[in-house]
Structure 1
Amino acid sequence: MSTHNEKPIATGQAEFSEAEKLELRKKHYNGTITERIDIHEGLARFRIRPDNGFSPFKAGQYVAVGLGNWETRLPDSQDEKLEEKKFKKLTRRAYSISCPLLDQQKMVTVNEIDYLEFYIALVKHAASPDAKAPSLTPRLFLMGDGDRVEVQKKIVGTYVLENIKPTDTVLMISTGTGEAPHNAMTTDLLSSGHVGNIINVTTVRTRLDLGYLPEHEHLQAAHPNYQYLSYTTREVENWDKTHPGYVGKQYVQDLFSSGLLAEHAGDPLSPNNTHVFLCGNPSMIGYTPPGADPPATPGMLQVLKDKGFVEIDDHKNADQKNSIDRDGPGTIRFEKYW
């Protein structure tokens, strides 16, 4: 086991002897962290190899990762109050499977490697005081190379590439770690010989949050039809109007509406030839359940619909038909993390 586990226990958590922990891990865990790549203290890439491998899956799909409630939590994370009957249970969370993009400077797809890569942000405190304390990442971020975890056996999800012609434009928009499934989709498209524009857009707080930037730059240099466009919201040029490079907060909704995104991409991003994929912050996506009021600030769903795109919600009836080919250009797919 790594030395990550030697930190003191957080309050509000049952204590176990190391012998008890080893026995519980042996009973429940079925995967090993082969490599942890820290971007910064609150963001990391975890490579996990399931003991029994995994069946081929589609880029964009997800799987749950679990750790026991007996594992140590970060001492400065929100207190977690557990019922005694849950002390020996596992806590799980589903994560879209990312892709390393490169292996020894060679492009790889998710099915060409023997591990699953996850792009994970540390959450130590719930968004609101009355919400449940974050459970998984305060434990996971004390784990490192060689540590054991649980990986659910079934990789699932409908947020995948479907019926995309080789000449179509694929526009993928994310915030933060929502980039993960798009990384998998990127190498899947490039390795299949896709010749249309592939535009991977992400918005982050600061440039330090761009955990795959070198890999994306390598792919851009090797593939003229691929672009990785990153935007920030909390760099000095986003808030200091006296800064010579002041651009304001760069929200993708504004970039798309103004035409700047199309200009930066060198593509009209028209519903006539463009498939759109959205993953990340619910405010960016702008999804509203049936019957709910639209968001006060439009998300990408509202912006895109105004431009003639049509939403595909694969979380509804799979047989639902739209006014255009549900798998053709002009459609919007989105992933949910809420």
Structure 2
Amino acid sequence: MKWTPGIIEQKSVWAEGLFTLRIRAPEVQSFEPGQFLQLGMEQPDGHLHRPYSVASPHGELLDFFIVVVPDGRLTPQLWKLEPGNSVDVSKRAAGSFTLSHCPDAKDLWLISTGTGLAPYIAMLRTELPWQRYDRITVVHGVRYAADLAYQPELAQFTATYGDRFHHIPVVSREAAPQALPGRITTCIVNGSLEERAATRFTKDSCIMMCGNPDMLQEMENILGERGLRKHKQKEPGQIVVERYW
């Protein structure tokens, strides 16, 4: 793997252990929103690196939305970084969780838990989703309201695009203003999610899902009962999935 030095330009802390690093890395090759890069650091026992979805389109400044894994080796080190510090960034991105691998449809659903929101922020900052889809709905599931990152930017999309854009936060462990209570799958089963979105999951939907593997599997089961299936080049469907672990 080829590396390039990245310099931390900005650190935005959303909640304790939940943050975005804006990294200047002009030598990173062009990539599609939704792909991931590796971040790495030299350690006494060798070079430690992990993949992270980029929360911005390609450019000299790249955003990474990260949560500290308490017993992890790399994320606690990334949490300590401040503007001016350096980190290694892979020169080439990878991954197929992109709009170019999605079917055409009327509605685009962007469903995530935790930092799975990152690739959607990158996509929404470009013109492509707005050109391809009539309506876009972002669903972000978290445990606590403090974990609802990127709220001002998502609100700005609503202000700009009106009824073409819906942002639905879902908070499972406490009551939160404007958020649906419970888990994303529960909100689909009880009908509250589609009611808030004012649209339904149909065969004229593209449904992207990124985050907790349990949520992804449950979502596939629920949507499968409605006759919706994974999208494949030779077998068109509605569902496109990114598994973090």
Per the normalisation by structure 1, the TM-score is 0.66
Partner of 1:116: 62
Distance in 2, Cα, partners of 1:153 & 1:190 = 24
**Structure 1: which amino acid aligns with 2:184?**
V
Q: Which residue of 41, 56, 74 maps to 2:16?
A: 41
Residues 162-197 of structure 1 show CA distances to partners (whole Å, capped at 9, x for unaligned) of 3554x6200011001010011112233567534511
Whether the 8 Å contact between 1:206 and 1:234 is mirrored in structure 2 is: yes
RMSD of Structure 2 on Structure 1 (CA): 2.2
Distance 1:226 1:63 in 2: 28
Amino acid at match of 1:124: P
Q: Does the Cα contact within 8 Å between 2:169 and 2:180 map onto a contact in 1? A: no
CA shift for structure 1 position 336: 1.4
Question: How far off its partner does 1:140 sit?
Answer: 0.9
In structure 2, C-alpha distance between the alignment counterparts of 1:214 and 1:147, rounded to whole Å: 27
Alpha-carbon spacing, 1:59–1:96, altered in 2? closer, same or farther (3 Å): same
Matched, 1:97 2:54: yes
Contact 1:278 1:333 in 2 (8 A): yes
1:101-250 alignment to 2 at 5 Å? 110-111=57-58, 113-125=59-71, 134-162=72-100, 164-165=103-104, 168-189=106-127, 192-194=130-132, 196-224=134-162, 225-235=164-174, 237=175, 249-250=181-182
Match of 1:65 in 2: 39
Q: How many residues align?
A: 240
1:233–1:251 Cα contact (<8 Å) kept: yes
Deviation at 1:34, TM superposition (A): 0.9
**What is the Cα deviation at residue 146 of structure 1?**
0.7
TM-score, length of structure 2 as denominator length: 0.90
* Equivalent residue letter for 1:274: S
**Structure 1: runs of 5+ lacking an equivalent:** 1-27, 71-85, 100-109, 126-133, 239-244, 287-298, 314-318
- Residue 185 of structure 2: aligned partner: 253
Question: Shift in Å at residue 29 of structure 1?
Answer: 6.1
Deviations 1:220-270 (A, max 9, x none): 0111201111010111x38xxxxxx9x995111121222221111111221
Secondary structure of 2:243's counterpart equals coil
Q: What is the aligned partner in structure 2 of residue 332 from structure 1?
A: 239
Matches within 5 A, 1:300-311: 300-311=219-230
> Alpha-carbon deviation of 1:207?
1.3
Deviation at 1:217, TM superposition (A): 0.5
Tell me, yes or no, if the aligned pair for 2:9 and 2:23 is still in contact at 8 Å: yes
Task: Determine helix, strand or coil for the equivalent of 1:268.
Answer: coil
2:241 aligned with 1:284: no
Secondary structure in structure 2 of the residue aligned to 1:223: helix
Contact 2:29 2:91 in 1 (8 A): no
Structure 2 residues not aligned, in runs of 5+ = none
Q: CA deviation at 1:283?
A: 0.8
- Find the aligned partners of 2:41 and 2:115 in 1 and give their Cα distance: 20
Q: Which of these two proteins has the greater Rg computed from alpha carbons?
A: 1
* Secondary structure of residue in 2 paired with 1:158: coil
